Structure formats: C-alpha cells, structure tokens
Chain A
Amino acid sequence: MTESPQPALRTNEVARHYSMGQTTIRAVDGVSLEIARGEFVAMLGSSGSGKSTLLNLLAGLDRPTTGAIFAHGRNLAEMSGDELARHRSRTVGMVFQSFNLMPRMTLEENVELPLRLAEVDRGERGGRVREALEHVGLGQRLAHHPPELSGGEQQRAALARALVNRPTILLADEPTGNLDSKTGEEIMSFIRQFNREMGMTVVLVTHEPHLAEKYAGRRIYLKDGKLSTNGDAQ
C-alpha cells in the first residue's frame, strides 16, 4: 500500500447473513477485496451469488453482519445512520437496472433530488443539474418526464443523477439489464467515460461477461457469497 495511500474501497472478511426462519442465508460470506482509486471493476456471478448484496454493502444501503468495509479509509460498519446517509449522498452514486427515476418528476427535478438531500444551495443547483444532463446528452430534455423517454434515455438520466453530487465512486447494479445491446453499449461507454475522464472509481455488477470483458479493467467473480476464481463463476 505504498503506491496509493488509501484504496477507494476495501472490504475485510465482510459477511451479510439473513435469517429466514430457522435457516441462515449467507448472501455474502467473508469477502476481502480492495478496489483502487480510479479502477473499473466488474463483479460477475450468477443470480443469488451475492453480488448485489455486496454492492449494497459498498453503497452503505446495508450493514454487514460481520467484517469491515472501508471507503477512502473510513469503516462503513462503524458509521451512524446519518454518516451512512452522508456516504451515500457525497461519496457514492448509484444506478440501477430499473432506472428508479421518479416518474412524476421532470428530468431536471429528478436530477436535482440528490442536491436537495445534500443541502446544496439553491442558486448552485440549476447549473449543476443542467451540466449533468448535458453530460449525458439530455440537455434538451430537462422538462420531460421519465415515461416520455426511451429506456436508454432514462438510464442516462439516472447516470446524470448519480453524477450530480460529484461522487468519487459509481456503483452500477446491472445498468444494462433492461436495455437492448446497442443501448447497453451506449450506457457502458458513458460509464467508461466517467471512469477515464473524471477518474471515478466504478464497480459494475453484471451477468454479461462480454460487457465486463470489454469495459472493466478487472473482473471479480462471486459464487455463493464468496470470491471465486474466474472459471468457476461461469
């Protein structure tokens, strides 16, 4: 760890267990990994392998049962609820398979939402929202509502929303899962652009190996909640 002072993300024997009646489900079961700043990592695995659970743990949406998760050196497992909210607000940006835009809000309002939550000054917001939407090529669609847009456009709006608070880490949970392959590629190139031009650390959860191969700098495979060598995951 001499070359880089702090990795963007580091987990240490992190586990997340759920109890379902008598049985315990070990969704994530002792994962230790390190993701350097500016890295583009793809997490692969079949459904139920625990990759989304791990992503939620990295996002601070969920707390580990045991183990530690460090984001820029700070342990998420020891943070208060408010501190975790701050982590989600300032440090990470998230995109989802189903876009998760507010359907009755315009794109502008959708993208403004993280700024409201982060208590950014009103005067500053308009410019930042427009900048973020222009960045993903939606500068002309500020007043549109999500249902009026195509899937690709909605995911681009979601990217703008993840971007607007200028986080250092982008966590993407199967962002192309609901899109045709051409549109999926388009979204992936936006993500790569963020990674390369803005130096954002990207963690991409996907089950499409060709996308991981094409865009990610490193691939991590999960199986039954544990890290596995790449061959096993297929």
Chain B
Amino acid sequence: MKSRDLMELASRNLREALLRNSLTTIGIAVGVASLVAMLSLGIGLQRLAMTQLQGTGLFNRVYVTPRPPRNEFGDRGGRGGRLGGGRGGREQAPAAGIPGPEDLKPLTVETRSQLAALAHVKEVFPELRFQVDVRNGNIGHVTAAASFPQSARATGIFDSMEGSFFSSNDATEAILHTDLAQQIAEENKIDVKNLIGQELTLRYPQRKDVPTAANQTPTEIAANGEFGYGFTIVPAERKVKVVGIVTGEQAGPGGLGGVRVMLPLGFVEQMQTVQGTDVRSVVTSPGQQTYSSLTMLIEDPKFVPAVEDSVKQLGLGAFSLFDAAHRLQQFFAVLDTFLGLFGSLALAVASLGIINTLVMAILERRREIGVLKALGAADRDVRQLFFAEAGVMGLLGGMLGVFLGWSIGRIINWGTNVYLAQQNVPPQKLWSVPLWLVGAAIAFSILVSLAAGLYPAARAAKLDPVQALRYE
C-alpha cells in the first residue's frame, strides 16, 4: 500500500475508536510532557548556572602564580597540577613546599607585560590587597582594601551596587562594602545612601624604595659592607570619594573575600602599597616590585586552555576554572540523563498503553483484517497499517506532550518567580525548552510508539484470514 493510503486508513481507524485512542494518545502526551518537563528543568538549570558563572567572568580568566603548583597539590590544581605532577618526583617531596632557586620565577612588571603580549589576552592585572585604616573624622576602621580593574564592573560583584562604578582607572574613588558603609553612616548619623559622594581618608602602609647603586647583587652589596638596598615602609594618606556601596559577598577568586574597600587599580598602583611579596622580593629580586599573583582576562573561554599552556611554558604557574566549568557541564549531563530517565518512565508506561490499545484493536478488527487480506492485503500491509496507527498516536501524543510540558514549565517558572519575588530575588528563567528538545521529544515519542507497535503489528499481520473470516 502507498504511504498516503496507509496514513488515511490508519487515521480513519484511529477515529473509529476515538475515545480509546484519544486516551492512549493522552497517555503518551503525559509521558512526553514529563520527559520534556524534566529535561527542560535540567537544561534551564544548566543555562542558569552557566550564565551566572560566566557572568562572574571566572571562566575567561587565567590566574598566574610565580611557579607551577607542586606535586603535593596533586590534580587539585586542575590543569596546573598536571605539569607539576610531571616533574615533581617522590624523592623531591620533602622539599617540595619550599621553592628551590630554579623554581622561582617572580611575577615582575616585566612578566606582566610579557603575559599581556600573549595572544587572545585582553588584560593582565594584579590584585593588590592591603590593610587600610579608613578615617572618618577621628574614628578609624582598620579593614582590608583591594584593587579592581575597570573590567571588574561586569563580574557580578557590583551588580547589586548603589551609586556608580569608578569613573576611571586612576580615579581617587572608592566603593565600600555595605558593612563598613553602615558603620560609618551610623557614626555620622546619616543615611547610608547619603554616604555616596562623601570624602574619606585612607591611611595605609606605603612602600618607599631605598636608593641603591645600580646592578649590585645582594652578595656584592654584602661584600661592600653596605645594606643600603631594599625599601622601607612609611604611613601614607590619600583622600577618596565614595562613589558606590555594594552588598553581598562573593567568595573565591575575583570575589570580595573580606574586602571592605574597593579601589581602582591604577590609583592603587600609584599608592605604592606594601604587598606581602615585597618581603620575599627583597631577597629574590632586589629592587623590583613583584606581584603575588596576576589575573589574565582572556577574550573567550575557549582560548583559556591554550593561554594556560603558554603561561606554563614561561615557567609560571597557571590555574583556571576551565576544568571546573567542564566538570559542571559533566555534572549537568549526568543530571539531565537522570531527569530524562525519570521522565521516560511515564513514557514507558504510556507505551504499554499503546500495546494494550493495539492488541485490543486486533481482537476487535479480526474480521476486518481478514477482509483486507482477502481483498489483496499482504502481511506487510497489515503490519504497516498497525505501525502507522502507532506512529500517528506517537506523533500526536508527542506534539501534545511537548505543548503540555512547555505549559507545565511555564506555570512552575511563574510560580517559582512569584516565590523568588517574595524573597526579593530577581526573577530567573528556570525553564528552557530549546527547539532541539521539541524535535527530539516528538521523534522519541514516535520511536517509542513504533517500538510499542512492533508486537501488535506482527500479531495482526500473522492473523490467519481463514480463521478471521469464518462465519460467526
């Protein structure tokens, strides 16, 4: 039989037992709906997690340390650990925590520009942290301050900020954490919001280089009996204008981590604050300013592994969350599989419904099948007819199910957002039904239905026409 005739006869047969076939089709639709609902939840959560994490800018960053992480850290360092593990050896293990001279490659200003010259690198910046005494009149608050590049604006830390971001990289401006801002506002008996635009004094330890004769190594200096190289620490003061107040706390690299005063990077560099590495660099790289770590901003997350490798070739340690992102995706793949399996259960039950309906149809249509065969139908025609009926139910059930699943998603999404709104959390799109899911769900539904039709179709095809036509 030609497929058009097949489809016509199949849909005619389906219409003849309308209630039963509709119920079976609705059964499939419920199965598909549960599958779509489960998967779209998984996909929606994945998208949400990925966009939120990507919004923090963590995935397009490479963190550079003076040397590669050593063996003890194992693979915890992600990609960085691999290299360290390769050259670490068991016999070196006891000394591994302390860098040997050959290991030390300080992060100098020169290294910084070297890194900035690598391909696909947008920006290289240090995170300068230091203790600061925030003076407001006579009252001081000792707290942590850190530098932020202009690109930090997009990382999500400043999303919930009141006021505005730094007007420029060198601006003498500060953004305060709300904890500190509230204390200062209370002392001044003003509203926190009114703190924006006020001026504060920062008192901090400044590094002052002690002039030395050029090109002298520490040994030479010692031999000459001179100790005139290095730096000294002096208290310094700068005035800054408060431009913004942030709430919330974001842990991890690039997060706040206890920092209460945020300053523009260029301004902090001018401040010549004392860094923890300064003490070490007195010995290792005399006369040079070094950084404890540098952060590289990469054009696109996909270049991260390549940049990481180039950094390691320079003999530096590199670390990124690329692996973490990768693992997150793997986690969601597993989650989606489980959700899909649970969703498929309902479809499996629905497929039993198809088998049941079609087997019933064979019993009911025994005579009809006999007549068809007498009129010239081959076994194949009968089989295809039942197959087509199963397929049409699968198609209709699939389409209805996708619509149903989509609607359920919309409703739950709406409900969740009503709840989130009550909790003062911005609305989220938890549900995502991509086009491929629509196609795949319908195709899967047809496939399952056809599989369910296998047995009834074979049974109908094998029906003996002589038996079927025997006069009752």
Contact = CB atoms under 8 A, between A and B. Distances in A.
Contacts of A118: 376
A96 B465 CA distance: 13
A61 B372 CA distance: 11
Given A61-B465, A98-B471, A116 B374 contact: no
Contacts of A119: 1-2, 5
A117 B5 CA distance: 8
A88 B471 contact: no
A117 B471 contact: no
Contacts of A53: 466
Contact of A104 (B16, B374, B464, B472): B16
A137 interface: no
A220 B374 CA distance: 23
B381 A117 contact: yes
Given A97-B471, A100-B367, A119-B2, A113 B466 contact: no
Nearest to A101: B371
B109 interface: no
B355 to A, nearest CB: 24
State the main secondary structure of chain A at its contact with B: helix
A203 to B, nearest CB: 14
B370 to A, nearest CB: 8
Nearest to B13: A104
Contact of A100 (B2, B374, B378, B381): B374
A31 to B, nearest CB: 17
Contacts of B368: 102
A114 to B, nearest CB: 5
B380 A59 contact: no
Contacts of A56: 466
Contacts of A88: 373-376
Interface string B1-33: 110010001001000100000000000000000
B192 interface: no
A37 interface: no
B119 interface: no
A64 B116 CA distance: 90
A207 interface: no
B177 to A, nearest CB: 77
B335 interface: no
Contacts of B376: 85-86, 88-90, 114, 117-118, 165
Contacts of A81: 378-379
Nearest to A56: B466
Interface in B430-472: 464-466, 469, 471-472
A104 B367 CA distance: 14
A114 B371 contact: no
Contacts of A116: 1-2, 5, 9
Chain A contact-residue range equals 20 to 34
B378 A82 contact: yes
B347 to A, nearest CB: 31
Given A100-B367, A102-B368, A119-B2, A85 B471 contact: no
For B2, B367, B380, B464, which residue has the most chain A Cβ atoms within 10 angstroms?
A: B2
B377 interface: yes
A53 B369 CA distance: 19
A62 B9 CA distance: 25
A98 B472 CA distance: 9
A161 interface: yes
B1 A62 contact: no
Interface string A151-183: 000000000010001000000000000000000
B469 A96 contact: yes
Nearest to B461: A81
Interface string B343-380: 00000000000000000000000011011111111111
Contacts of B375: 88-89, 94, 113-114, 117, 161
Nearest to A105: B12
B466 A85 contact: no
Contacts of A104: 12, 16
Contacts of B16: 104
Nearest to A61: B465
Contacts of B381: 85, 117
For B368, B372, B471, which residue has the most chain A Cβ atoms within 10 angstroms?
A: B471
Contacts of B367: 100
Contacts of B379: 81, 85
Interface of B: 1-2, 5, 9, 12, 16, 367-368, 370-381, 464-466, 469, 471-472
Interface of A: 53, 56, 59, 61-62, 81-82, 84-86, 88-90, 94, 96-98, 100, 102, 104-105, 113-114, 116-119, 161, 165
A-B CB proximity, top 10 nearest: A89-B376, A85-B378, A116-B5, A117-B376, A88-B376, A114-B375, A100-B371, A61-B465, A62-B466, A82-B378
9 contacts: A62-B466, A85-B376, A88-B374, A88-B376, A96-B469, A114-B376, A117-B376, A119-B1, A119-B2
